Structure 1
Amino acid sequence: MEEKFVGILDNNPHIYTIYPLRLKNNKLHFFKEYQKLKTISKQNQYDLVLDLQGLIKSALVARILSPNCVGFDQHSLREPLASWFYNTSFYIPYEENVILRNLKLTCKALNIELPDIHTKEPFLFSTYKSGITPTLLVITGSSWKSKIYPKEHFVNIINALHVKSFVAWGSEEERNDAQFICEHTNATMLPKMSLNELKAIIKNSQLIIGADSGPTHIAWALGRPSITIFGPTPSARNTVTTPINLTIDCEKAINARDINKHDFCIQHIDPLKIIALAKELLPC
């Protein structure tokens, strides 16, 4: 997997080995990574390789690792050419929920029954021991500016809930937002953390609120109560709602194949709606 995301799956007892790669926006390292993939392939002689990402780049990686690779068919992909690299492909509509799509592909490839995703157990793990136990953990950032919920709205949410709150951040811009939030509330700004540390903090939290981002989705993976705020991305496609994992969005139709990264509709989501959901999830 991409090198900077290895910490997400680290320490999982169900994973034998994680191979970090540097492929994202790094064409200069492609030949070096190609040689690494060829070595991995020779060492392991994989019976089957699944490509769950469904991009040309990931499909090429799967093909290098094994000729017996499986992925989505050309009608199920944003980059249809990726299907050319697969030995076997399956039709699973691109618009379906991402988590269920990946699960369906895995089950079809292995010829096993589809399990009930709502009865899953936590599947992320951390070795970090933390004494920080937030009642509320706020995640400030996301991968696009249009997916970031305004810091002023987070101020309103924290001040309305009156609970022990912490704010997590990753980039310098997120740090500035976190600092603003903490200056206008009684929240505590966390230091910059590794993914191993962040997983531990999320596991210790009673409620996580954040935009459509990896750290917010970790809460669902760990079985922790959460509210995920969606802007220009479709909530129904990007997470699974449960009684403790709620979503709120812009209440507009969004085409999963034609996402507008310049749509800042998230800014218009009323913080009062999030406050109401938070009060349902927080302990009395």
Structure 2
Amino acid sequence: MRVLLIKMSSMGDVFHTFPALSDALQAMPNIKVDWVVEKTFAEIPKWHPAVDKVYPIELREWRKSLFKGETRRQVRAFFEEINQTSYDLILDAQGLYKSVWVGRRIQGAISGFDLKSAREPLASLFYQRKFSVEKSQHAILRLRLLFAQALGYELPQGQPIYYGLQTELWNRPEALPWSSENYLVCLHGTTWATKYWPEENWYQLLRKAVESGLKVVLPWGNDEEKLRSLRLKADLSDKDVWVPERMLTLNEMAALLKNANAVVSVDTGLSHVAAALDVPLLVLYRVTDPELVGADGPKVARLVSPLASQYIKNFSGDQERLSLQNIGVPEVEKWLEDV
């Protein structure tokens, strides 16, 4: 059976899909899945053995210049390539107007969430087959249930999350300065200023980790994050803390996380990568709620502040202080001791 999956972004959404693919592969060993995904994440789907072909889409760029001739040529060529293949199932696992825009340009009936289940309900009007999945569940379970209904197999009750990625040959990155020592990865970069963990907290944690015999890696994804990494490392030895000279590729970052002794992260896309790689992971949720879309997996732990459910982008009053309750350095150190 050949399936076309539409699940374009974000990084968390992409990783939330892997357990559903693992379920499908277990139930249907001969299944082949082609995946439409944003070009930014095009490396990721092939990590799963069920995925055959990846169609990297540049929808974010196209929307900026949809009426320009060159953009229209790119769009036409993209869908002409997809439509060379006949699919047994076209599954829109995103449930958004933008994913419907993609699906309607592909030959064949589209399946997806029903009116009460889709993130943007009216998107369901364009599906030929629709499935009900309760919205109050974590995104991983929602996708597992959607796949099971669309492909016609029973989802085993109580079955744990299994990402099923092909990581057996992912060795420690060659750039890593240590050949065998255990190391901690600290993911401090994120999108909202209110989701940051204070630099002083990171610094205290780094000193504790180094004193306990761990090496520490401080990766970065932009100039601001690089400067923060260098500040955190400033008073620590090069032999104990490594800040990469260049930004690591996604594949390099995945190998770095896979081979770590532990990972401590704020709420960021890379936390979902670590969750899928069976590495001990602690995620700090300061102003975002992990219950529906947080990083999840067999080795994932969470520290959640009292304000996590409020999605605060700008602090006022006493919110900044309250947002750090339950996610202090002692709580993180305790978790590290138990790993």
> What TM-score results when the alignment is normalised by the length of structure 1?
0.86
Partner residue, 2:273: 218
How far apart are residue 277 of structure 1 and its match?
1.2
**Cα 1:31–1:147 shift into 2, 3 Å:** farther
Distance 2:103 2:313 in 1: 29
The partner residue of 2:305 within 218, 228, 250 is 250
CA distance in 1, matches of 2:296, 2:82: 38
Report the equivalent of 2:183: 135
1:192 to 2:233 alignment: no
What letter corresponds to residue 200 of structure 1 in structure 2?
A
Q: 1:69 aligns with which of 110, 116, 123?
A: 110
Indicate whether 1:87 and 2:128 are aligned.
Answer: yes
Per-residue deviation, 1:124: 5.3
| Match of residue 160, structure 2, among 118, 133, 143 | 118
Give the structure with the larger strand fraction. Answer: 2
| 1:187-226, Cα deviation, whole Å (9 max, x unpaired) | 2112311101111111110101111222121111111110
Structure-1 separation of matches of 2:61 and 2:308:
31
Matching residue's letter, 2:264 = I
Measured in 2, the distance between the counterparts of 1:176 and 1:23 equals 31
Q: In the aligned structure 2, how far is the partner of 1:59 from the partner of 1:203? A: 35
Q: Which amino acid aligns with 2:287?
A: P
Q: How does 1:1-284 map to 2 (within 5 A)?
A: 1-24=37-60, 26-27=62-63, 28=65, 31-115=72-156, 118=160, 120=162, 122-123=164-165, 125=167, 130-131=173-174, 132=176, 134-162=182-210, 163-186=214-237, 187-190=241-244, 191-239=246-294, 241=296, 244-252=299-307, 254=309, 259-262=311-314, 266-268=323-325, 269-281=327-339
CA-to-aligned-CA distance 1:216-268 (integer Å, 9 cap, x gap): 2111111111011113321122246556210111134627xxx4444666555
Distance 2:295 2:271 in 1: 12
TM-score relative to the length of structure 2: 0.73
Distance change >3 Å, CA 199–CA 219, structure 1 → 2: same
Is contact 1:68-1:87 (8 Å) kept? yes
For the structure 1 residues 214 and 129, does the alpha-carbon distance in structure 2 shift closer, same or farther, using more than 3 Å as the test? same
Judge which range, 76-85 or 32-41, deviates more: 32-41
For residues 134-183 of structure 1, give each alpha carbon's deviation from its aligned partner in whole angstroms, at most 9, with x where no partner exists: 52011121233333322322111111222211111111221122111111
Contact 1:148/1:266, CA 8 A, preserved across alignment: no
Deviations 1:35-70 (A, max 9, x none): 134213421122212222222101221232244212
Unaligned runs of 5+ in 2: 1-36
Identify if the C-alpha distance between structure 1 residues 33 and 82 changes in structure 2 by more than 3 Å, giving closer, same or farther: farther
Distance 1:251 1:93 in 2: 26
Q: How many residues end up aligned between the 2 structures?
A: 278
Whether the aligned pair in 2 keeps the contact of 1:10 and 1:196 (CA below 8 Å) is: no
Identity %: 26
Contact 1:7 1:194 in 2 (8 A): no
Contact 1:69 1:87 in 2 (8 A): yes
Point out the structure with the larger helix share: 1
Conserved in 1, the CA contact under 8 Å of 2:206 and 2:216?
A: yes
Structure 1: give runs of 5+ residues left out of the alignment.
none
Choose 45-54 or 246-255, whichever is displaced more: 246-255
Displacement of 1:184: 4.0
Q: Quote the Cα distance in structure 2 between the aligned partners of 1:171 and 1:223.
A: 26
Looking at structure 1, the residues matched to 193 and 222 of structure 2 have their Cα atoms a distance apart, in angstroms, of: 12
- Secondary structure of the residue that 1:160 maps to in structure 2? helix
Tell whether the 8 Å contact from 1:144 to 1:261 is kept in structure 2 after alignment: yes
